[in-house]
Amino acid sequence: MTATPESPTPKSAPQPAPAAETRPVRSAVVIGGNRIPFARAHGAYAGASNQDMLTAALDGLVARFGLQDERIGEVAAGAVLKHSRDFNLTREAVLGSALSPETPVYDLQQACATGLETVIGLANKIKLGQIDSAIAGGVDSTSDAPIAVSEGLRSVLLELGRARSPKQKLAALARLRPKDLAPEAPSTAEPRTGLSMGEHQALTTAAWKITREAQDELALASHANLAAAYGRGFFDDLITPYRGLVKDGNLRPDTSLEKLAKLQPVFGKTLGEEATMTAGNSTPLTDGASAVLLGSEDFARRNDLPMLARVVDAEAAAVDFVHGKEGLLMAPAYAVPRLLERNGLRLSDFDFVEIHEAFAGTVLCHLAAWESEEFCRNKLGLDSPLGSVDRARLNVTGSSLAAGHPFAATGGRIVATVAKLLHEQAAAEGRRGRGLVSVCAAGGQGVAAILEAC
């Protein structure tokens, strides 16, 4: 850190750590975050790779906190749609960034929960005293997505590689058919069901009888909240522009219920029931990257860095969606109650609730489940409903419906946002608020975390 130009070393050396078995668990704090604006697929970032975007997000974070040539304890990030050449994606991004090339790195992938899981994993390492500082992040591009060759071509190519004689090579090539040359684009369909995420959610949305109007209202609130947050400069120290894009490309500040109501449904059209999910109340395919700076309190103090919020606890859950026992994106409905139970908290104990808006229906199904006596009794084993989320505390600066959702980048966006919200509130009201973060993920997974203002 360049806190003092006279010497590249920190102002005071960190205390020598005690042996691992006697080391007390300490706090891990969110120092700040950075992301590039999220772009609609095949838009502003069409030519940028995951590595390019992650590097940009890291460089913006480095610039914001003066981390040039700093050796960070560990950086972890990931992407959901990943090229095989990106096997060491995060390491390559760090090597291309202004961080010290001696910064160790690992890649992580937990579908849409990737970003949140990097925060949790690194915060745990900080808590255990294994590292002092960390950067968690994620990136995804649907514009620069990997395109695979067909199984036929792949098998021919592999056999060609194994073939020794020209005759064997010719035999391998002879197996090639014209249709094998057509590439295969990645799909968001669940491998075990063949249903896309939207179709899965359409089933759950219908099962919970969530109306089109309720979904459109949530989408409208997301756009209005995000636009208002931009208006008050909230994102000035959370976003660094990239490739000429200054704000999230998906934001429609002028949208209205009337405009949203005109959109045709895109998911659930073959369900036999009225389809309610449109492009307006579903997240679009998006490109973007985010990064969150974490550290011990000691690290933050030594380097004169702000402490926004503590990473308190986290919980992951998974549901059996394969044969429809539970909805694909319902895992957070299980993760959150378990997390609250362990921490002795109720939904009403949170000042900010951030539920990733994969689809408006996803958020509304979670809320409905927690309010449902039947669900809470039969599925969660609770005596009474978990409770309601005050809508005034839900996604107060907008969420994925407005900002977009570059899968692995969403966790970092939310964590940095809620940490800053908590910090702002603490500064204004002088009290330590709590924030709840919940992210659903492909494969029937979900991750939730609690943050608390410093």
Partner 1 sequence: MAAAQDSYLKLLSNPLARELAGRLKLPRPAVLRRYRPGDPLLPGPVLVLGAGDSAGTLASALLDWGLDVRRHATPGERIGGIVAVLDDVAEPGDLAAPALALGACLRQLAPGGRIVTVSRPAAASAGAAAAPAAAAARQGVDGLLRSVARELRAGATGNGILLDDGVDATAPGVLGALRFLLSGRSAYVDGQFLLVGPGTGTVPADPDRPVAGRAAVVTGAARGIGAAIAEVLRRDGALVTVVDVPAAGEQLAAVANRIGATALQLDITRPEAGARILEHAAGRHGRLDIVVHNAGITRDKLLANMDADRWNAVLEVNLAAQLRMNEAFLASDLLGPAPRIVCLASTSGIAGNRGQTNYAASKAGVIGMVRASAPVLAGRGGAINAVAPGFIETDMTARMPPAAREAARRLLPSLQQGGLPVDVAEAVAFLASDAADGINGQTLRVCGQSLVGA
Partner 2 sequence: MNAHPEAGPASRREEVRLPELPSVSRLLVHAATTAARERLSGTSRPAALPAVRHTVDSVRVELERLTRFQHLVGGTVRDSLPSAFLHTVTFPVAMSVLTRADFPLPLPGLVQLANHVRQYRAVHFAEPLTLSAWVENLRGHYAGTRLDVRTEVLADGEAVWQGTSEYLAKGVFRPGLDTGARPAREDFTPPAPTARWRLGVDAGREYAMVSGDFNPIHLSTVSARLLGMKRSIAHGMYLASRVLAGIEAVAGDEHEWNIRFAAPVYLPAALALRIEDESRNEHWVASSFTAWGEHSRRLHFSGSVRTL
Closer of 60 and 406 to partner 1 (Cβ)? 60
Q: If binding is defined by CB under 8 A, does position 188 make contact with partner 2?
A: no
The single residue of 223, 356, 366, 405 carrying the catalytic annotation is 405
- The question of whether 112 is a catalytic residue gets the answer yes
Q: Could you say which DSSP state residue 395 is in?
A: S
Binding partner of residue 153 among partner 1, partner 2, none, CB cut-off 5 to 8 Å per kind? none
Between the alpha carbon of residue 115 and those of residues 76, 85, 347, 423, the distances in Å are 9, 21, 23, 21
Q: b vs e for 158-195, b when ≥16 Cβ sit within 10 Å of the residue's Cβ?
A: eebeeeeeeeeeeebeeebeeebeeeeeeebebeeeeb
Q: Which of 395, 303, 406 is nearest to 32 (CA)?
A: 303
Please report how close the Cβ of residue 297 comes to partner 1 at its closest, in angstroms: 15
Cβ(425)–Cβ(341) below 8 Å: no
Quick check: 326 binds partner 2 (CB under 8 A)? no
> What is the secondary structure of 290-339 as a DSSP string?
EEEEEEEHHHHHHTT----EEEEEEEEEE---TTSSS-TT-HHHHHHHHH
Is the separation of the CB atoms in 112 and 358 below 8 Å?
A: yes
Say which residues have a Cβ less than 8 Å from residue 356's Cβ, sequence separation at least 6: 112, 362, 363, 399, 400, 405, 410, 414, 438, 439, 440
Query: For the purposes of burial, counting CB atoms within 10 Å of the CB of 31, is it exposed (0-12), middle (13-18) or buried (19 or more)?
Result: buried
The yes-or-no answer on residue 440 being catalytic is yes
> Would the CA dihedral through 261, 37, 396, 357 be positive or negative?
positive
Of 102 and 304, nearer to partner 1 (C-beta) is: 304
Which residue's CB is nearer to partner 2, number 206 or number 449?
Answer: 206
User: Could you say which of 166, 325, 374, 427 contacts partner 2 (CB under 8 A)?
Assistant: 325
What stretches of 188-285 adopt beta strand conformation (E)?
265-267, 277-278
Residues numbered 44 to 63 that lie near partner 1 (CB under 8 A) are: 56, 59-60, 62-63
State yes or no: residue 240 binds partner 1 (CB under 8 A). Answer: yes
Q: How far is the CB of 51 from partner 1 (least distance, A)?
A: 17
Q: Which of 210, 227, 305, 380 binds partner 1 (CB under 8 A)?
A: 305
Tell me the two tokens of residue 292: 């969150």
Residue from 199, 315, 354, 452 that binds partner 2 (CB under 8 A)? 199
The yes or no reply on residue 324 touching partner 2 (CB under 8 A) is yes
Question: Taking CB under 8 A as the rule, which mask of x and - marks residues 259-278 in contact with partner 2?
Answer: -----------xxx------
Residue 2 interaction partner, one of partner 1, partner 2, none, beta carbon < 5-8 Å per kind: partner 1
DSSP 393: G
365 in catalytic set: no
Single out the catalytic residue among 112, 365, 376, 454.
112
Note whether 318 binds partner 2 by CB under 8 A. Answer: no
From the list 66-74, 78-86, 337-345, 414-422, the region that binds partner 1 by CB under 8 A is: 66-74
Kindly indicate which of the ranges 9-17, 65-73, 320-328, 335-343 contains the residues binding partner 2, using the contact rule CB under 8 A.
320-328
Inter-residue contact 425 to 394 (CB < 8 Å)? no
| Binding at 241: pick from partner 2, partner 1, none (beta carbon under 5-8 Å per type) | partner 1
Q: For the chain, how far is it from start to end, CA to CA, in angstroms? A: 22
Q: How far is the CB of 250 from partner 1 (least distance, A)?
A: 18
Residues annotated as catalytic are 112, 405, 440
* Residues found near partner 1 in the complex (CB under 8 A): 2-6, 56, 59-60, 62-66, 68-69, 98, 233, 235-237, 239-243, 246, 304-306
